[in-house]
Amino acid sequence: MIDAIVTPMIDAIVKRTVRYRQHSFIRVVRRTLAVIFPLALIGIIAQVLFIVFFSNDGYLYNVLSIGDWVPKVVLTKAQYSLLALSQVTIEMLTVYAAYGAARYTAQLYQIDDQVPGITGLVTSLLLSVRYTPNRGVSFDQNMMSYGSLLGGLLVGYLVGQIFRWLGKKNRLKPGQPIHTVDIEEQVAAYTRPILVIMLGALAINFVLNLVSYYSSYTQAAALMQSLSSGNTPFWLELLMVCLTTLLEWLGISGSYNFQLGTDSTEAMANLNYALAHHTAYGVPYPYLGSSLYNSFANFGGIGLALALLLAMAIVAHSYNEQRMVRANFLPVLFNRNTGLMVGLPVLLNPLYILPAVFLPMVNILIAAFAIFIHLIPTPVYWVPDGTPGPLVAYVGSNGNFVTLLFTLALLAFDVWVYIPFVRLSLAVEGRIREIDAKEDHKDV
């Protein structure tokens, strides 16, 4: 009886998701994410190595006392090298996404993709330019990095569409040789769309610089961060968690940082209480949003990425899927989920929006209840950067063993919740492959 009800529902979800995947923007997104995934993975591994091993506040740096036995010059050069690698990969991911999205949009409509790709890249860079008071220019790193990935995808898609609408309709002919004369003619035919795109980007750049001049974005970001780390109403903390994970699912940075938030007035009050009374039970602010979120709702990164990765390891059996699990295990273990968000992908994947957005909120509610009944204490102590997600609450509670058991049970619950969503995702991928085979291996 249950199967007769559930099976048609699953089939309907699979069909709707397949139709969603066939939308032109989503097709471009999927192709672009597949291309930039290696850069995202390499960049995030570089960040993990820098933060965990070579940063003074890093988890393994402190556990292994790396600063005591590794020469300072070696540490410094390693930091510079890893920062450089991170800078040209993960910190410029939005620019690469704009390039890829513009190219694949052009390819989708069978027009030459070289000029649209370069134009998408230049447009993304132009939107990132900021003017300094001494009449110099700089680049807004936030506009170029992973945190603005959705913007890069939209810019590239729009650039490709403008070339489709305004460019000369010279269709690509498979196997036809391309000569210098052909390229020159094609570029000349693209003068109008390039001019329109540059003028539009220049106008948007003017507006963004006005916003930057009046610090509007900075003030809004500071307000969101204060709401997540201060003594805000509990319902507002839950709302901020949902907003953060939803924005991350969209490809935009949210308001919560990984840091446990011990620099706020309320967090310092909790820490002083614990130090004075030799216990974290009964602290004046037991339900701080940053403490609850980072301790119990951030395993592996935003959206409980570690639970998703473990669910994939249990359910998925193909070589490609297991390779994705292995490639992302190290970064996700240390709470960096960019590779998984891009490579799986979780970004703009409707099958993962429910657990990614609402499961962290469920974790916080369960943890708040456990604190309320004094099953576990509120984590109040400093936690090193890159501490594995399931150990954050344990370290933040000064090694409380019950807290460790509670956190592991919570992680197991999260994995159990993620498993049916992973199975649905695998079913959709199987259906997509069937469609590809029927259409002579064309991407859908």
Give me the mean pLDDT over the 254-275 stretch: 71
Give me the percent of the chain exceeding a pLDDT of 90: 48
In the numeric block, the tokens 């694949």 are attached to 104
Query: Does 291 score more than 90 pLDDT?
Result: no
**Residue-level pLDDT at 258:** 45
What is the end-to-end Cα distance of the chain in Å, rounded?
Answer: 35
Quick one: which of 196, 440, 194, 239 has its CA closest to 357? Answer: 239
- Give the residue, 188 or 106, on which the prediction is more confident: 106
Give me the mean pLDDT over the 210-223 stretch: 64
Task: Map 307-337 to HEC letters.
Answer: HHHHHHHHHCCCHHHHHHHHHHHHHHHCCCC
CA distance 309 to 352: 12
Beta carbons within 8 Å of 416's beta carbon, 6+ residues apart: none
CA distance 118 to 120: 5
- Give the residue, 176 or 290, on which the prediction is more confident: 290
Give me the percent of the chain exceeding a pLDDT of 70: 85
Q: How confident is the model at residue 2 (pLDDT cuts 50, 70, 90)?
A: very low
pLDDT digits (tens, 9 = 90+) for 12-49: 877 888 888 889 999 999 999 999 999 999 999 999 99
The H or E element spanning position 139 is strand 137-139
Distances (CA, A) of 116 to 120, 187, 200, 353: 6, 10, 15, 31
Query: Does 440 score more than 80 pLDDT?
Result: no
Give me the mean pLDDT over the 144-165 stretch: 93
- Span of 170-184, 244-258, 272-286 with lowest mean pLDDT: 170-184
**Residue-level pLDDT at 228:** 59
pLDDT digits (tens, 9 = 90+) for 308-364: 999 999 998 888 889 999 999 999 999 999 999 999 899 999 999 999 999 999 999
CA distance 30 to 34: 6
The H or E element spanning position 130 is strand 129-131
| CB 96, CB 43: distance < 8 Å | no
- Structure token pair of residue 219: 């003030």
Q: What is the mean pLDDT of the chain?
A: 85
Give me the mean pLDDT over the 90-107 stretch: 95
Give me the mean pLDDT over the 357-384 stretch: 93
- Span of 13-17, 103-107, 148-152, 300-304 with lowest mean pLDDT: 13-17
CA 127 to chain centre: 21
Give me the mean pLDDT over the 249-258 stretch: 71
pLDDT digits (tens, 9 = 90+) for 55-88: 888 999 999 889 888 898 989 999 999 999 999 9
**Residue-level pLDDT at 118:** 94
**Residue-level pLDDT at 215:** 59
Query: Does 135 score more than 90 pLDDT?
Result: no
| CB 255, CB 244: distance < 8 Å | yes
**Residue-level pLDDT at 1:** 44
Give me the mean pLDDT over the 278-286 stretch: 88
Q: What is the pTM of this model?
A: 0.89
Quick one: which of 136, 197, 134 has its CA closest to 167? Answer: 197
Beta carbons within 8 Å of 175's beta carbon, 6+ residues apart: none
Q: What is the DSSP letter of 137?
A: E
CA distance 146 to 148: 5
**Residue-level pLDDT at 170:** 58
